Structure 1
Amino acid sequence: MFKFFPTVASFIISSLFFLSCKSDENKIKDAENEVFAIHDEVMPKIDDVMKLRKQLRQRITSFDSLKVAGSAAATLRTDEDKEQAVRINQDLALADSLMMDWMSRYNGDTLAKLPSEEALRYLTDQKDKITDVKTKVNTSIQQARQFLGKN
């Protein structure tokens, strides 16, 4: 019976180790899924960003035309609106750039090569970064729609 015990004990220990590794793999996969859920929510909005940038560029061009034909008071208002349109257009460009930058820097292939703790830290960092991208995309889209709707 004592001969059997070391075999059972080693089986239990190796099973616990395997389950521990499996749960680490699950944690990593879950964390990666969270990161890509945010990415997948934001990525389709990049089309909206591009369309809004085009509309803003057209509006900026129309402000230039109004300025040529307008009075001093109208010119002041046109200059203010143009400045706002340029700033919002820059915010949209930044949001797009951040998304492209995040996608080019994400290294999902290396996750399997990293120790579990390091992989989870990397994914936490990536989740923070893509959440920041999401905030900037959503905010700039909202500002652009509001601006284009008010004019």
Structure 2
Amino acid sequence: MMKTLVVAAFAVCLLGSCSNSSNESSAESTTSADPVSELEAGVMASHDSTMAHMDDIMRLKKAVRKKLAVTDSLMKSGKKDAALQTDHEQGESIANNLNAAEKGMMDWMHGYSVDTLKKLDQQKAMEYLKAEKAKIDKVNELTKKSLADAASYVQ
């Protein structure tokens, strides 16, 4: 009976130490994750942040077009002053920037390839992801600036 208790206690201690060891290994692997995975997560976070604004782009494109139609109508009706002309030109520029932001996002999504990433060694994958991060960050900046300009213009 005593021998059984000793064996059982030993087994519990052994299992307990294995459990702690596995928890430490798992904690180490999450803190020192694969650099490719970390960079890929950063790229996808930028993508997700930019995608969240696509509905806003569509809504503001519509509002800018509406305001442009009004200024265009006023200009055609004979009201020609410098302020109206400037407002119309500003609206056209903002509409073009909204279109460029939307197109930039679509182009980036069509060009980004997870399949390509999987075929690359770590160094090439890091280079690829750094280039893609720079591209999506540029699209994100254009998107945010275009949205801010458009929101100000339609107010």
8 Å contact kept, 1:25–1:116: no
Which of 86, 91, 94 lines up with 2:92 in the alignment?
A: 86
- Map 1:23-62 onto structure 2 (within 5 A): 26-62=34-70
Pairing 1:102-141 to 2, within 5 Å after superposition = 102-141=108-147
Question: 1:127: Cα distance to partner?
Answer: 0.5
Q: Distance between the aligned counterparts of 1:71 and 1:143, measured in 2? A: 25
* Count of matched residue positions in the alignment of Structure 1 and Structure 2: 126
1:104 positional shift: 0.1
Q: CA deviation at 1:116?
A: 0.6
Distance between the aligned counterparts of 2:118 and 2:33, measured in 1?
9
Larger Cα-atom Rg? 2
TM-score, structure 1 normalization: 0.77
Aligned-partner residue type, residue 43 of structure 1? M
What residue ranges of structure 1 are gaps of 5+ in the alignment? 1-21
RMSD: 1.9
| Offset from partner CA, 1:82-137 (integer Å, 9 cap, x none) | 11100100000001000000000001112221111000110010000000000000
